[in-house]
Amino acid sequence: MTERIFKLIPQAQNYAWGKLGSNSKVAELVANAYQDITIDSEKTYAELWMGTHPNAPSIKMNTGENLKDVVLANPDLLTPAIASKYHGDLPFLLKVLSIQKALSIQAHPDKKLAQQLYKKYPNIYKDNNHKPEMAIALTPFEGLCGFRPLLEIKKNLRKYPEIVEVIGKDIVKEFNYIVTSRLYKKFEYAYVLRTKRALKKLYRSLMEQDQEIVKNQLSKLIERITNEDPNPKRGTLNEVIRRIEAQYPGDIGVFSIILLNYVSLKPGEALYLAADEPHAYISGDCIECMATSDNVVRAGLTPKFKDVNTLVNMLTYTCKSADHQIVTGTPYFHSSTTLLYNPPIEEFSILCTNLSMETKKTRESFRGFRGPSIIIVTEGNGRIIFNGKYYDACKGSIYFIGANTPITLETLDNNTTFYRAYTELFKNKL
């Protein structure tokens, strides 16, 4: 009989932007639950992957099997419907991220574009799937997400004249005219269309500018704001610009900060990043879940390949305030201990269960989901109970839960937190 619950061995990714050694949440979790894995204090630990993606597949601990081979051989772990729709594979990839240095300015393609990029550039874009994703802050977390409201962009263009010199004065003048024109505002659809076109033209001109001009104007910008505002408060635009420019000197992506929303998340707050929306994580630790893909189109803050033309053409140029980018969990079926993060896609939802001896809410039971799930313990010490059997779940432990497997989560500590990513083809509307 197929095991319904089993422990996974994840894989860590040592990207340059990660945190060093035990300072990394990724390393902290791995070291606590997987004592056979040695943490190197000289290495950065950026991402912990939990899933079936071929770049870093998880392993079934008690057998050494690749998780993808396990679910391919046992479609009942997914349900026949999910196995059929996703070709026997897990639809999502769960991660923990630990960020010391800003990630690239990037966006993820939708399914149609992903298929086109994979067919045309298979050495760059490694799969043909889209990659909508959600990040839930484990610690204070900073990022860039989507374009700022139009009038805020207009204000920043006036405040930072160096970016105008990079974009071109005529293009900026045209953008400002369209944004504030009463003529266009009378016709909402036409106004939205024209402002999107104007913003795309402005952003293309910025991102395609000659590198020497970019470096020259960026140098002037840093010198000016350092003299005018020598001790900026953390999280202000001047401070974020200076901090990221120090990480990526002379990089065009620094100017994007002036146009994109800066967001600061408290633990438990989240960002949902749909296809074709620009973003970049800046600092902090988070749970991240996405459709099973590693497709990224980059255009700044990176030494990696930049596909500026693809990025500029794929973006939606939707403008919303920073507040509109932040997502909070909602009680799961009126639970006082579990929050649901439910993005508008089929591939995944996320539950966060917090159990505590102090509140005497030490257990919570769940029905069997109509699809697979993966659980990671991010704090405390607990266990998973199924069919009279107890599975130890200390901090860092990761378990696969097969479809239609009812479980109970329990804390053995003052405060234990479980994050659970799962798939159901037909989501409950709570």
Q: Which residues are annotated as a binding site for Zn(2+)?
A: 106, 108, 133, 279
Catalytic residue among 148, 204, 242, 298: 298
Look up 383 and say whether it is catalytic: no
Cα 408–77–329 angle (5° rounding)? Answer: 50
- 327 bridge partner residues: 270
Binding residues: 106, 108, 133, 279
Catalytic residues: 298
